[in-house]
Amino acid sequence: MRKAVQFALVIWALVSFMTCTSPAQAIRVAKVQAISPDASVSSLSITASPSSVSFGLVSKGIAQGSSAINITTKWGGSLCIYSCTVNLYAYFSTAAAALSGGGSPVVNIPTSEVLGEMPTGLPTTYTAFTQSNPLGGAGASLELFTQSFTLYTGGGSRTDSLNLEINLANQPQLPAGSYSGTLYIQAQSL
């Protein structure tokens, strides 16, 4: 029998855009919420820092996040009595709008323009948030890692760095304004 334990981490993104390079604020980290059918099964937690990442969007270019998001995933207790897998995903609600803003009318930056890289995980090069995974919107997800166990381990942890970039090379000229969106990071144990 498999039991699922999930935690969600909400990361807010607020990005400003001008017709050329401009400073922007931030990806903000909100509280972690447990989503578990049986809280006595085991422990699974996620922490992420720093609390903000800035972008300076570049028209028809690539904007790197100002720093990586360090994500620590911890598991313990009876989580892996026989065998299990811990997966970590990052995702947006919809593929059409990872970020929205720019005034009136509202303009969207799709998830295909937002890329993530986790050198110690699965996307070892910058990869767009266009996967369809068990968590997140269709075509709006990125699997960050999967780790399998075959025996009881008593627990463990890993810390990974998620680098982000926004690539506007294929995006039409965006109007000046603020763009915001929500990036969710969620661990799943099966």
The helix (H) or strand (E) run that includes residue 183 is strand 177-189
What pLDDT is stored for residue 144 in this prediction?
A: 96
Q: Whole-prediction pTM value?
A: 0.79
Q: Which residue has the higher pLDDT, 17 or 67?
A: 67
Answer yes or no: is pLDDT of 116 > 60. yes
Distance CA 44, CA 42 (A): 7
Mean pLDDT confidence for 159-184: 88
Phi, psi angle pair for 107, to nearest 5°: -115, 140
Half-sphere exposure of 100 (CA within 13 A, CB side): 10
Range scoring the smallest mean pLDDT among 21-30, 50-59, 78-87, 101-110: 21-30
Cβ neighbors of 60 (< 8 A, separation 6 or more) are 168, 169, 171, 173
Instruction: Read off the pLDDT band of 19 (50, 70, 90).
Output: very low
